[in-house]
Amino acid sequence: MKFTTSLFATAAIVATGASAWSLDFQDGTGHIWKTHGTGDVDCRHLSKDWWGKYNTKNIYFDPSTPLHSDPTKVTVYEGKDCDGSNWGLKKGANTLSPVKNIKSYRLH
The reply to whether 78 falls in a domain is yes
pTM here is 0.74
The reply to whether 4 falls in a domain is no
Dump pLDDT digits (tens) for 64-83: 766 666 677 889 999 999 99
The reply to whether 2 falls in a domain is no
Which residues form the domain of 86?
A: 19-107
Instruction: Supply the mean pLDDT for the chain.
Output: 79
What's the CATH code of the domain at 90? 2.60.20.10
The reply to whether 37 falls in a domain is yes
Confidence at residue 6, expressed as pLDDT on a 0 to 100 scale: 41
Question: Among 59, 57, 55, which Cα is nearest to 92's?
Answer: 59
Backbone dihedral region of 10: left (phi > 0), alpha (psi from -120 to 50 degrees) or beta? Answer: alpha
Vertex 90 angle, CA 86 and 93, to 5°: 100
How many domains, in total, are found in the chain?
Answer: 1
